[in-house]
Structure 1
Amino acid sequence: MWLKQVLPVLAALMGKSMVDAKAVFAHFIVGNVQAFSQADWETDIATAQAAGIDGFALNIAAGDTSNGVSVQKAFDAADAKGFKLFFSFDYAAWGAWDKNAIVSYINTYKGRASYYLQGSQPLASTFEGPDNATDWFDIRSSTGAFFMPDYSSKGPQWAVNSGVVDGLFSWDAWPDGASDMTTATDQLYKNVLGGKPYMMPVSPWFFANVYNKAWVWRGEDLWYDRWQQVLQVQPELVEIITWNDYGESHYIGPLWDSEMGLFVSGNAPFNYAAGHPHDGWRLFLPYLIQQYKTGSATISQEGLSTWYRLNPNTACTADVTGNDPAGHGQQYVDPALVLQDRVFYSALLGSSATVSVSIGGVVQQGTWENVPAGGAGIYHGSVPFNGGTGQVVVTISRNGVTISEVLGASITTSCESGIENWNAWVGSATGAAPSLPGTTITTSTTSTTTSSTTTTTTPPGQQVCVSGVGSGNYQGLCSFSCSYGYCPAGVCTCTAFGTQRAPPPSTGQKGYPLAGLPDRCSYLGLCSFVYDHGYYPDTACSSDPAGASGC
């Protein structure tokens, strides 16, 4: 009954979402590239284009005297390459921006072919700066800008209540402590924005030990998880954090020797980006971005991406905290608990294959923790170090034939300056055309809204969510409901799509959140669904309609 009622709504919404313009950007720290020539800019732009990225969000700090020359080169290069750019004004690095300077930058470049327009308006963003939010009434009036700031320190409700935003970008791209990332914050933004566009952050890693920033957040499965969450949430825009922020270790662009001065000026104990390429994280971006934009993508070549840390987590002096107790007010967690001693790998495959990992010549048979529905798509998993050191070799094979193999850097207990390097080493390798040439994978492209304004996702055709997870009190609810095609984003995370399973017969019983339950309105749809199908979790739901009061 539930599926019959919701499918017409899904179909209507699906048709709408497919015509909405979507784009993927990478956050680019302009202050790092003072030595760049226009040719250098063109090289990075070509590399980004090959990965399917539409443009750079140009982070420029107030008072940086190199901005003018660098920005001119950037736009000249982008014009030449058919690439898009927009400004992200950084209010945190060197202080607040003067609004007249912002007006000058936008008006100078908004007419360039390479300036990205949201609709017909030049897009502008920020890194923080909520104390100067009212300046943007005049800036928008003087430039016609479409304003999508990052005001994460204040939160989306504050930002929307300011009355000055046209949409929002969130900087909340990493999980807290020894846990994995969820879509809870993304869903909060979308709910608060009420239809205004949301730019969703995606990042692969975080480790900083520079400029008085010294902490780690969990990465590891993040690059895989976050793109699956993009497919689920379907934001209007995506911004990758970052292209070239080496100090925070979340770069996906190439390493440039000329960009490493921050490790000296920022008093880092050593250059922890050197010898730690992240290029392998770009390997599957064309496939993922095409999935996000159109709902389907073609596998033309199989491949493998793998990442891990070169120092086991107790090898040397940590020199950082897990979480950021000072700047973000988070609870301290031992960094050895936040980041795990494991080799992580993802493979884009046309059909199932096996994975093995050798560390110092000791071979482990790997497993897939995530398998795409239908057998074609991105597989993901990991294996533990098991105390091993030495060269890492990750091999993907099918029927005894090697598809792709990465000969990786060695794991070692020897640390530079005796200090742990928490950065990731990333490698990748491509293979031949898949065993099913031209395989097209259909993925989630739309959402439907329940009475609690959470969303569920259903891919086109016959595929729906067939497995999902939730944390804490949502665990049992998500496990039950996601297996039958109802998997509300923000509280549940779908882990597999497949053919619709018939849910248990409708009972006609109405379910509501327990009165007094924290964030009880987020349980509305789940409680209604599980009660109607005979599952009665007494820690979350009841038959008392008082629990829905005010939702």
Structure 2
Amino acid sequence: MKSPTIDHIDPEVRLSPRRRLFAGAVVVALAWSVLTPLAAPAVAATTEVVLSPTAATWTSARLPGTPLGDKPYLSASSSQDTSYLKFDGKQFAGKKVVKASLELSVSFSTATAGGVVAYPTSTTWSESSLTHQNRPALGPTALNTALVLAKTGARLSVPLSDLSAVSATQMAFGLRYSQQYVSNNFSLAQSDLPKLRVTVEDAAIAKPVAPPVVPPVGTNGKKVFAHYFPPYPISIDNAAPANDYYEKNYLTVDGEGGIHASYGGLLRDRPETRAPLSGSDWRVQDLKTEVRQAMAAGIDGFTLNIMGLSGRNWDASINLMKAAAAVSPDFTIIPMIDGTASIGSQSATAIATKLAELYQYSSAERASNGEYALSSFKAENKGVSWWSSIIQALKSRNIPVTFTAIFLNASDANMKAFAPISDGVGNWGTRTVATVTGGPNNAARAHAMGLEWMAPVAVQDVRARSFIYDESGNTETLRATWNRAIDEGADSVQIATWNDYSESTHFAPSVAHGSAFLDISRHYAAEFKTGKFTISDDAIYVTHRIHAVAAVPQITLTKPMSPTLSGNGTPPRDTVEVLTLLKAAASVTVTVGGKAVSYNAPAGVFAKTFPLAVGKVSATASRNGAAIDSVVSPHTVVTRPLVQDLQYYASSSRD
């Protein structure tokens, strides 16, 4: 490392490649091969250790084969330049890390937003020979959640919040910057050297937390988002499930003072339960869990329903941005303004000011040209000029956005009206097979207008408080919506919804269907992004209602639900569906209400239905005379339910 005068690099020239919506942002990378996610520190004596780097260099895509270790500075940008630092950690190997930060002196920066982001990487590189061509890969998860803005002349302290233990003798970092099209130089002068400041205590090394299992990302650049509805988190009050807010107020007939009694309670399902969590950040912990659940199902991000600019739902929105940033840089959030909610009465200035709070997080989705992603629910409920004023208000704050208008009615008139201010359009979608499979090629309609198409994927829609539902036909609607998105060549997908339990449209793991709908969807998401529907393990999914459609509930309601949400074209049915995903053909035996039926199921995806009957439901698959998989539904079919409950329950052999 040399320490003569600083050479400044000209800011990167902004190119104009073909815009791709939802391409994701490149963030600063910090490589640390010996640290693991942060555990709660124990009460013990601590020691602060400050280390100088044993090696420091950087690589540049503009000089792909040139080592740059002789430069007196480091350079970090959003994509072309990556800085690397290495430290010797022998003196505190085996000790628990309580607190850590990386200090950098900024000798030059053109940044106006964003900040440094940190990832782990290999230590097997040399300062004298590292180039862009042989650089080590950056780790999948950022080690810092807070972005620290680089300003010329400033000394930065980047907190590393996801660390817990050091067990090896070397640590390596790689640095980038989250804001695109800016340059950042960090001094290597002896008085301004980068420093690693670590507070440690003597402790056994904590077991690393396993990273989320993420399906391979496809090569076509397409993404899958799920609609996140803030009113229904995993837990509302962090109480024990048997006595929490869901149980006492949403799932009971007399909950919330009896305001839901006429329709038998607000909800029929709830998120999978958990024991109360310790710590004041339990809400963020829960959101991290939801992000990991979504990633495991091949979902790339959430479209975040923004209903207002304050209160519990807004706080949840901020926490979701934090949680996503902490879990993975590959999971991003698109703010989606709800055109039917109270936010519609706010001024463009007020909305832009609050949206800027969300866009400061590295988890905000970015288009390939660096613009932030913004979307809408029922765009047509507000005029084009209203949406345009928000876009302009954001632009005046140096926040250019790529806008995707999602309609309830993606008519030609609505699409043409919004085309001048939009980069993409989409539809909320319907929930019956007849309405899903009918109609024109929506992706082709959008593409003809120069717009991208966000296709809807759904499983069912049952609204007890509105006395209405759609007959989704077990998993037929789920499979039909995915097939349409794939066959029409949609550019992205929105799963509607992740967690709106009030309309039973949720895919998130729940008491009524576990992870079954997510697991089915995972296979289609992979096909959407890679072109291949792969079955690596045999699986059986059983779906059914817990009572016949015409069953008379024990509690008299104002009126029964009507299957007319999407019109009168799909009559209700009482069926058990067995959906198999098989590597090879198998014999399947299904038992419904004590009656067993066997049939041969081919390899691949195959669904077969049977009449619903009172009692238990189960299915077993056998191959070559030996059972290979089975599932027993934990949900018993009854003659008279307490209240009318027309959602489809689901069970999976993989749960």
User: Given that residues 442 and 453 in structure 2 are in contact (C-alpha distance below 8 angstroms), is that contact kept between their aligned partners in structure 1?
Assistant: no
Q: What is the identity, as a one-letter code, of the residue corresponding to 2:492?
A: L
Equivalent residue in structure 1 for 2:610, among 383, 394, 399: 383
**Contact 1:160-1:192 at 8 Å conserved across structures:** no
Q: Provide the TM-score with structure 2 as the length reference.
A: 0.53
1:65, 1:249 → 2: CA distance?
24
1:123/1:367 Cα in 2 relative to 1: closer, same or farther (>3 Å)?
A: farther
Counterpart residue identity of residue 168, structure 1: V
Please list, as runs of the form range in 1=range in 2, the aligned pairs for 1:202-281 lying within 5 A after superposition.
Answer: 202-210=457-465, 212=466, 214-220=468-474, 221-255=476-510, 275-281=511-517
How many angstroms does 1:245 deviate by? 0.8
Distance apart, 1:390 and its partner CA:
0.4
2:295 partner amino acid = Q
Q: Which moved more, 1:82-91 or 1:111-120?
A: 111-120
Choose 1 or 2 for highest CA Rg.
2
* Alignment of 1:66 onto 2:312: yes
SS in 2 for 1:27: strand
Among candidates 3, 17, 21, match of residue 221 of structure 2:
21
Alignment of 1:193-204 (within 5 A): 193-194=447-448, 195-204=450-459
Superposition deviation, residue 81 in structure 1: 0.7
Q: Deviations over 1:450-506 (max 9, x none)?
A: xxxxxxxxxxxxxxxxxxxxxxxxxxxxxxxxxxxxxxxxxxxxxxxxxxxxxxxxx
Aligned partner of 1:37 in structure 2 is: 283
Residue type at the aligned position of 2:610 = V
Residue of structure 2 equivalent to 1:108: 357
Shift of 1:61: 0.9
Q: State yes or no: 1:170 paired with 2:427.
A: yes
Q: For residues 223 and 148 of structure 1, do their structure 2 counterparts lie closer, same or farther at Cα, with a shift above 3 Å needed? A: same
Stretches of structure 1 that go unaligned for 5 or more consecutive residues are: 1-17, 256-274, 432-551
Residue in 2 that maps onto 1:190:
444
Code of the aligned partner of 1:133: V
Alignment-derived partner of residue 652 in structure 2: 428
Indicate if the aligned counterparts of 1:24 and 1:289 stay in contact, CA closer than 8 A: yes
Q: How much does 1:290 deviate?
A: 1.6
- The letter for the 1-side match of 2:229 is I
Instruction: Tell me the CA shift for residue 123 of structure 1.
Output: 1.4
Equivalent-residue separation in structure 2 for 1:62 and 1:115 (angstroms):
18
Cα offset, 1:367, TM superposition: 6.3
The verdict on how the C-alpha distance between 1:286 and 1:192 changes in structure 2, with shifts beyond 3 A counting, is closer
1:498-538 CA-to-partner distances (Å, cap 9, x unmatched) read xxxxxxxxxxxxxxxxxxxxxxxxxxxxxxxxxxxxxxxxx
Q: 1:192 to 1:41 in 2, by over 3 A?
A: closer
Which of the residues 600, 608, 617 maps onto 1:392? 617
Shift of 1:80: 0.8
In structure 2, the partner of 1:512 is none
User: Residue 518 of structure 2 aligns with which residue?
Assistant: 282
1:124 maps to which residue?
374
Amino acid at match of 2:305: N
Match of 1:159 in 2: 415
Q: Which runs of 5+ in 2 are unaligned?
A: 1-217, 238-281, 554-558
Distance 1:154 1:200 in 2: 11
1:312-351 residue pairs with structure 2 within 5 A?
312-316=548-552, 319-324=560-565, 330-331=567-568, 338-351=571-584
Residues in 2 aligned to 1:174 and 1:60: alpha-carbon distance in whole angstroms: 23
**CA contact under 8 A between 2:334 and 2:364: conserved in structure 1?**
yes
Aligned mates of 1:365, 1:314 — CA distance in 2: 28
Give, as a single letter, the amino acid of the residue that structure 2 aligns with 1:311.
H
Q: 1:46 to 1:292 in 2, by over 3 A?
A: same
2: CA distance between counterparts of 1:310 and 1:367? 26
Kindly indicate whether the alpha-carbon contact (under 8 Å) linking 1:160 and 1:193 is maintained by their aligned counterparts in 2. no
Instruction: Check the 8 A contact 1:390/1:411 in 2, yes or no.
Output: yes
**C-alpha distance 240-64 of structure 1, shift in aligned 2 (>3 A):** same
Give the aligned residue type for 2:404: M
The C-alpha deviation readout for 1:381-429, integer Å capped at 9, x for no partner, is 22222xx21010122222222221111121111211xx42101111001
CA contact (8 A) 1:356 1:363 kept: yes
Partner Cα distance (1:107, 1:149) in 2: 19
- Give the drift of 1:296: 2.0
Q: Give the superposition deviation at 1:65.
A: 1.8
Residues of 2 paired with 1:355 and 1:97: CA distance? Answer: 56
Query: Helix, strand or coil for the counterpart of 1:48?
Result: helix
2:292 alignment partner in structure 1: 46
Indicate conservation of the 8 Å contact 1:170/1:200, yes or no: yes
Q: Distance in 1 between matches of 2:228 and 2:525?
A: 19
Task: Establish whether residue 87 from structure 1 lines up as the match of residue 344 from structure 2.
Answer: no
**Percent of aligned positions that are identical:** 22
Q: Secondary structure at the match of 1:218?
A: coil
- Are the aligned partners of 2:588 and 2:620 in contact in 1 as well (CA < 8 Å)? yes
Q: What is aligned with 2:123?
A: none
8 Å Cα contact 1:216/1:320 also seen in 2:
no
1:281 offset after TM fit, Å? Answer: 1.0
In the TM superposition, what is the alpha-carbon distance from 1:101 to its structure 2 partner? Answer: 3.3
Amino acid at match of 2:416: V
Return the offset for 1:68: 3.1
The code of the aligned residue for 1:127 comes to: F
Scaled by the length of structure 1, what TM-score is found? 0.63
By how many angstroms is 1:299 displaced?
2.9
One-letter identity of the residue aligned with 2:378: E
| Cross-structure match for 1:358 | 591
- State the 1:183 CA deviation: 5.4
Q: Work out whether residues 396 and 402 of structure 1, in 8 Å CA contact, stay in contact via their aligned partners in 2.
A: yes
Aligned partners of 2:358 and 2:364 also within 8 Å: yes
C-alpha displacement at 1:38, in angstroms? 0.4
Provide the C-alpha distance between the structure 1 equivalents of 2:304 and 2:574, rounded to a whole number of angstroms: 35
Whether the 8 Å CA contact 1:215–1:321 is kept in 2: the answer is: yes
For residues 245 and 302 of structure 1, do their structure 2 counterparts lie closer, same or farther at Cα, with a shift above 3 Å needed? same
Secondary structure in 2 matching 1:402: strand
The structure-2 alpha-carbon separation of the partners of 1:122 and 1:156, relative to structure 1 and needing over 3 Å to count, comes to: farther
1:79 to partner: Cα distance:
0.6
Task: Work out whether residues 156 and 189 of structure 1, in 8 Å CA contact, stay in contact via their aligned partners in 2.
Answer: no
C-alpha change, 1:102 and 1:403, in structure 2 (3 Å) is farther
Check the 8 A contact 1:157/1:192 in 2, yes or no: no
Q: Distance in 2 between matches of 1:132 and 1:125?
A: 14
Deviation at 1:115, TM superposition (A): 1.1
Match of 2:389 in 1: 138
Tell me the distance in 1 between the aligned counterparts of 2:350 and 2:412. 26
Give the counterpart letter for 1:290 in structure 2.
Answer: A
- The superposition leaves residues 270-310 of structure 1 with CA deviations (integer Å, 9 ceiling, x where unpaired) of xxxxx523521112333322211111254322211221101
Are the equivalent residues in 2 in contact too, given 1:304–1:346 (CA < 8 A)?
yes
Aligned to 1:411: 637
Rounded Cα–Cα distance in structure 1 between residues aligned with 2:387 and 2:342: 19
Cα 1:64–1:356 change in 2 (3 A) is farther
1:304 & 1:156 partners in 2: Cα distance?
Answer: 41
Instruction: Give the number of equivalent residue pairs.
Output: 373
- RMSD across aligned C-alpha pairs, in angstroms? 2.5
| Contact preservation (8 Å) 1:218, 1:338 | no
Matched residues in 2 for 1:60 and 1:345: separation?
A: 37
Contact 2:456/2:485 (<8 A) preserved: no
What amino acid sits opposite 1:48 in the alignment? Answer: A
